[in-house]
Amino acid sequence: MDSTRQNKISRLIQKELSDILLKLAKETRGIMVSVSIVRVSPDLGIAKAYLSVFPSDKGNEVVNHLNENIKAIRFELGNRVRHQLRIIPEIRFYIDDSLDYIDNIDKLLKE
């Protein structure tokens, strides 16, 4: 169960990461990236960002590219939220593959 503070920080980081990734997405043509959910650890030191990538076969490529540029992304995030947060959490990107499971469930239910 997340605390109210964790939820507020998660929403703030999700909003700001979405803006940052939107700016980075202009460089990549034909790939859509959205931040599905952000989960913050209880000590507010680590933020796990789950990304939804379309087309889904490019997901690993996008996450690897973002993890290579994590310092620049965290710096940009720090500049945006420096007045709201005392500590900028370490960011880790993961692929949100829940839509793939929904497609599989729909296929199984139709059979």
pLDDT in tens, 5-46: 888 999 999 999 999 888 877 777 778 888 889 999 988 889
Cα–Cα distance for residue pair 72/99, rounded to 1 Å: 29
Q: What is the CATH number of domain 4-110?
A: 3.30.300.20
Q: Is 29 helix (H, G, I), strand (E, B) or coil?
A: coil
| pLDDT, tens digit, 9 for 90 and up, residues 38-55 | 999 988 889 999 988 887
Cα–Cα distance for residue pair 43/87, rounded to 1 Å: 10
Give the global pTM: 0.79
